[in-house]
Chains A and B, each alone.
Chain A
């Protein structure tokens, strides 16, 4: 059974600081997704990581994937308040069939 664990689950940080969210998963997969969810809203796709060593960046967010370590990271650079949200990683447990197992989510609060 594939398990996906994120840490931390809650993160409160100040604007301007850097931080990293970690996503560990228990079985082999080379497809990992990051999503953002604002309170009471739907999920918005941030990144799709498809191979070992994949790195993608969008604005202040950068995601990477290490399939050998079964680890993905979402790095936030110089955080701003608008990045406050819950961030989910999700792993495809059926090798490309988009049957995703989600982590518990990391609730990120960025204070002015």
Chain B
């Protein structure tokens, strides 16, 4: 199994540009989420989804959009990139959010906004 796959691994944007970070999992997991990691800090939850068609906001949702049209995919959209969005982004998934199972993390996308 590939697990949780994120693309791209690296991206440089100019302020105001838009882009989509891709996340796909092949484990038939219900729950998927996006986190950002800034230097010297832990991860912060951006958005999450408990199933296809259902999304909700996390701790730091501003400036990001998500959708979940299929169980497998959970893309994260930056509508108008800002330097404050420079970070490493991790996608994570688990079989079910209610069974207390561990999260599986993707390898991350390092994003720089100039």
Query: A: which residues have CB within 8 A of B?
Result: 4, 31, 33, 41-45, 48, 50, 88, 90, 96-105
Contact = CB atoms under 8 A, between A and B. Distances in A.
A45 to B, nearest CB: 4
Given A42-B90, A42-B106, A102 B101 contact: no
Interface string B4-46: 0000000000000000000000000001010100001111110
Interface of B: 31, 33, 35, 40-45, 48, 58-59, 90, 92, 94, 97-98, 100-108
B44 A102 contact: yes
Contacts of A88: 42-43
A90 B97 contact: no
A106 to B, nearest CB: 10
A29 B29 CA distance: 24
11 contacts: A31-B100, A33-B103, A42-B106, A43-B103, A45-B102, A48-B102, A50-B100, A98-B33, A101-B44, A104-B40, A105-B41
B50 to A, nearest CB: 8
A90 B42 contact: yes
B100 A103 contact: no
Contact of A98 (B44, B90, B97): B97
Contacts of A45: 102-104
Contact of A33 (B97, B98, B102): B102
Contact of B31 (A98, A103, A105): A98
Contacts of A98: 31, 33, 48, 94, 97, 103
Contacts of A4: 42
Given A100-B45, A104-B40, 12 more contacts: A31-B100, A41-B107, A42-B105, A43-B43, A43-B90, A43-B105, A45-B104, A90-B42, A96-B100, A101-B42, A102-B44, A104-B41
B98 A99 contact: no
A104 B42 contact: yes
Nearest to A43: B105
A101 B102 contact: no
